[in-house]
């Protein structure tokens, strides 16, 4: 065991690292806000889901039995113009809202599969939990923390704050400042007692297509309500971990806490975990700003932001080389560096598998190497510090390469230590990080890079000489073995086809 023999997590609510102690020893309940399934996810969304996948995998690695719930938002998440995201898309594509939901749910799953993430244990949808949402509105009303206006029901943030003094605690906002800021539901602003009050049930206009009967009106639930309801239903009134991107802290998670306390009288979550944003060229990757790259564009290289395509495992590795609470800027250079690093580790692991030792007992390096392996666990126990853990795998690879190349005697490690190295490397690389050995092969390898440089130069020469037969032969031949070329301003780059 290393120095930190307990998992410590950074709790956004206390703004401190805390020892992780689940409510029921050995079991963890974890809820993560999933996507609104009205369009394809972008790479920023993917970063958040990959981060929680690693957390899920590591908790299981530690031996916890985890119930991981990640929802799909399919109603109630409104755009600034007051229109429901799903309904608007259904009108645009001229299909049923539920076809939109299915289409983008499938595409979301396909995308996450590319990155080898595990499925959650439950993936509930908001529209599948209307009865429970109506019941929670009733509870909040009965407890006096909501009021009805013209068929809509609003959460009374002022009364709530007077009673519990904690509205704004998670996001660090002051209720007076919220007065000026909350503009979520402009259309119905005059119905509210206070601008920071938010709708938990909304009366639907006639033209609205997704609507249900309720005691107050034919309408639909407010966006924040579904997460309160579905987390409570599947994980209980208080559960261990709630996650999401840090852009959801306010208003979404703040309002979730208020709703749960308003309905059940207790705070729902022990540890709030928030991921930081993926940036592109220094700016948050976001659909509304148009500053996005889709996973497919990045993998195929079909985007002005990259010179070539990248294997999804390389993209994932690039993400894991930064901590989930740090911002991460996506650049072509950083991806190229990640590609080289990823290749070094896959080759390291392959070489490790082939290593043998003639040292039956302890070798002279055993202590050093076992110490290094313990540090990987320490790093992961320290709020899932993947970049540090990966740097240890690089250190380990240096030992492996020296053993492989004979710079260290084969008997420098004993049998047990060698087995420990093999087990630990595989456990972290394949099981905890969910990376794979057979991706990215070739890229980052000096010989392959050299050969490809030569082939590309010959093709370039053929093109200059208008020798189209040869240049086509090269392009088609590479295509046949799964390599694509992309011609750009900076020259021609190659990548493996996905």
Residues interacting with ligand AMP, by CB under 6 A?
A: 33, 35-36, 44-45, 47-48, 244-245, 247-248, 275, 277-278, 284-286
CB of 244 or CB of 301, closer to ligand AMP: 244
**Considering the complex, what minimum distance in angstroms separates the CB of residue 85 from ligand AMP?**
9
Please identify the residue of the shown chain whose CB is closest to the bound ligand AMP. Answer: 245
Q: Residue 48 binds which entry of Zn ion, ligand AMP, none, with Cβ cut-offs from 5 to 8 Å by kind?
A: ligand AMP
Q: Residue 227 binds which entry of ligand AMP, Zn ion, none, with Cβ cut-offs from 5 to 8 Å by kind?
A: Zn ion
* 33 touches Zn ion by CB under 5 A: yes
**Considering the complex, what minimum distance in angstroms separates the CB of residue 1 from Zn ion?**
36
Angle at CA of residue 473, ends 472 and 475, nearest 5°: 60
CB of 227 or CB of 452, closer to Zn ion: 227
**Considering the complex, what minimum distance in angstroms separates the CB of residue 45 from ligand AMP?**
4
Nearest to 196 by CA among 157, 223, 228, 162: 157
Q: Residue 285 binds which entry of Zn ion, ligand AMP, none, with Cβ cut-offs from 5 to 8 Å by kind?
A: ligand AMP
CB of 136 or CB of 227, closer to Zn ion: 227
What is the per-residue DSSP string for 379-441?
HHHBT--HHHHHHHHHHHHHHHHHHHTTSS-GGGS-HHHHHHHHHHHHIIIIIIS---TTSST
* 141 touches Zn ion by CB under 5 A: no
Contact between 79 and 88 (Cβ < 8 Å)? yes
Q: Check whether the bond before 7 is cis (ω within 30° of 0).
A: no
CB of 37 or CB of 396, closer to ligand AMP: 37
* 241 touches Zn ion by CB under 5 A: no
Binding string to Zn ion for residues 202 to 231, with x set by CB under 5 A, is what? -------------------------x----
Nearest to 235 by CA among 69, 56, 12: 69
3-state secondary structure of 404: helix
DSSP state, 249? I
**Considering the complex, what minimum distance in angstroms separates the CB of residue 314 from ligand AMP?**
18
Range list of H helices, 143-241? 157-164, 175-181, 223-235
Place of tokens 């919220």: 178
CB of 37 or CB of 373, closer to ligand AMP: 37
Give the C-alpha distances (Å, rounded to integers) separating 161 from 172, 180, 226, 257: 14, 17, 22, 12
Q: How many residues form the binding site for Zn ion (CB under 5 A)?
A: 2
Q: Residue 36 binds which entry of Zn ion, ligand AMP, none, with Cβ cut-offs from 5 to 8 Å by kind?
A: ligand AMP
Q: Residue 322 binds which entry of ligand AMP, Zn ion, none, with Cβ cut-offs from 5 to 8 Å by kind?
A: none
**Considering the complex, what minimum distance in angstroms separates the CB of residue 328 from ligand AMP?**
8
Place of tokens 């250190």: 395
**Considering the complex, what minimum distance in angstroms separates the CB of residue 292 from ligand AMP?**
8
Angle of helix 254-264 relative to helix 157-164, nearest 10 degrees, comes to: 70
Range list of H helices, 326-385? 332-354, 366-381
Place of tokens 């230590």: 417
Query: How far apart are the C-alpha atoms of 366 and 252, rounded to whole Å?
Result: 50
Q: Residue 456 binds which entry of Zn ion, ligand AMP, none, with Cβ cut-offs from 5 to 8 Å by kind?
A: none
Contact between 156 and 263 (Cβ < 8 Å)? no
Query: How far apart are the C-alpha atoms of 402 and 279, rounded to whole Å?
Result: 38
**Considering the complex, what minimum distance in angstroms separates the CB of residue 194 from ligand AMP?**
25
Contact between 296 and 311 (Cβ < 8 Å)? no
Span interacting with Zn ion, options 31-39, 121-129, 144-152, 299-307, rule CB under 5 A: 31-39
Contact between 163 and 175 (Cβ < 8 Å)? no
3-state secondary structure of 383: coil
**Nearby residues of 217 by Cβ (< 8 Å), 6 or more positions away:** 150, 151, 152, 201, 203, 204
CB of 252 or CB of 264, closer to ligand AMP: 252
Span interacting with Zn ion, options 25-33, 260-268, 327-335, 474-482, rule CB under 5 A: 25-33
Span interacting with Zn ion, options 27-35, 162-170, 297-305, 442-450, rule CB under 5 A: 27-35
Q: Residue 116 binds which entry of ligand AMP, Zn ion, none, with Cβ cut-offs from 5 to 8 Å by kind?
A: none
Q: Residue 295 binds which entry of ligand AMP, Zn ion, none, with Cβ cut-offs from 5 to 8 Å by kind?
A: none
CB of 35 or CB of 434, closer to ligand AMP: 35
**Considering the complex, what minimum distance in angstroms separates the CB of residue 375 from ligand AMP?**
28
DSSP state, 150? T
202 forms bridges with which residues in the sheet?
A: 220
Chain residues that interact with Zn ion, rule: CB under 5 A: 33, 227
């Amino acid at each position: 065991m290393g120095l930190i023999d307990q998992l410590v997590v950074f709790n956004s609510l206390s703004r401190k690292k805390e020892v992780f102690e689940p409510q029921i020893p050995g079991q963890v309940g974890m809820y993560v806000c999933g996507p609104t399934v009205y369009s394809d996810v972008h790479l920023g969304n993917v970063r958040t889901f990959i981060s929680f996948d690693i957390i899920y995998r590591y908790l299981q690695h530690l031996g916890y039995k985890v119930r991981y719930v990640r929802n799909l938002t399919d109603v109630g998440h409104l755009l600034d113009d007051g229109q429901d995201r799903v309904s608007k898309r259904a009108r645009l594509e001229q299909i049923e809202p539920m076809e939109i939901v299915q289409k983008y749910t499938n595409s979301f799953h396909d995308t996450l599969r590319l990155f080898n993430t595990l499925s959650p244990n439950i993936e509930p949808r908001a529209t599948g939990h209307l009865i429970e949402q109506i019941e929670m509105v009733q509870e909040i009303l009965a407890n006096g923390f909501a009021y009805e206006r013209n068929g809509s029901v609003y959460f009374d943030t002022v009364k709530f704050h007077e009673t519990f003094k904690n509205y704004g605690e998670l996001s660090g906002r002051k209720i007076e400042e919220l007065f000026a800021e909350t503009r979520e539901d402009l259309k119905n602003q005059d119905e509210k007692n206070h601008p920071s009050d938010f709708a938990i049930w909304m009366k639907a206009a006639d033209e609205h297509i997704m609507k249900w009967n309720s005691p107050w009106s034919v309408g639909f639930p407010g966006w924040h309500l579904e997460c309160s309801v579905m987390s409570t239903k599947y994980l209980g009134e208080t559960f261990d971990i709630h996650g999401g991107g840090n852009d959801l802290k306010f208003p979404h998670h703040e309002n979730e806490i208020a709703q749960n306390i308003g309905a059940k009288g207790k705070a729902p979550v022990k540890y709030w975990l928030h991921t930081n944003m993926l940036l592109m060229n220094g700016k948050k990757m976001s659909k509304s700003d148009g500053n996005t790259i889709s996973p497919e564009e990045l993998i195929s290289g079909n985007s002005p932001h990259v010179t070539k395509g990248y294997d999804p495992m390389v993209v994932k590795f690039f993400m894991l080389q930064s901590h989930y609470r740090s911002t991460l800027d996506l650049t072509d250079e950083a991806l190229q560096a990640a590609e080289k690093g990823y290749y070094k580790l896959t080759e390291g692991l392959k070489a490790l598998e082939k290593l043998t030792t003639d040292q039956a007992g302890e070798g002279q390096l055993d202590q050093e190497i076992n110490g290094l392996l313990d540090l990987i666990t320490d790093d992961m126990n320290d709020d899932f510090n993947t970049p540090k853990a990966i740097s240890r795998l690089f250190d380990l690879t240096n030992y492996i390469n020296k053993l492989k190349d004979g710079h260290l005697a084969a008997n420098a490690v004993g049998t047990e230590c060698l087995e420990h190295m093999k087990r630990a490397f595989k456990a972290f690389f394949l099981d905890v990080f969910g990376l794979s050995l057979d991706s990215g092969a070739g890229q980052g390898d000096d010989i392959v890079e050299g050969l490809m440089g030569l082939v590309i130069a010959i093709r370039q020469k053929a093109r200059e000489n208008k020798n189209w037969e040869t240049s086509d032969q090269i392009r088609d031949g590479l295509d046949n073995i799964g390599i694509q070329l992309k011609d750009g301003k900076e020259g021609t780059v190659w990548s493996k086809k996905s």
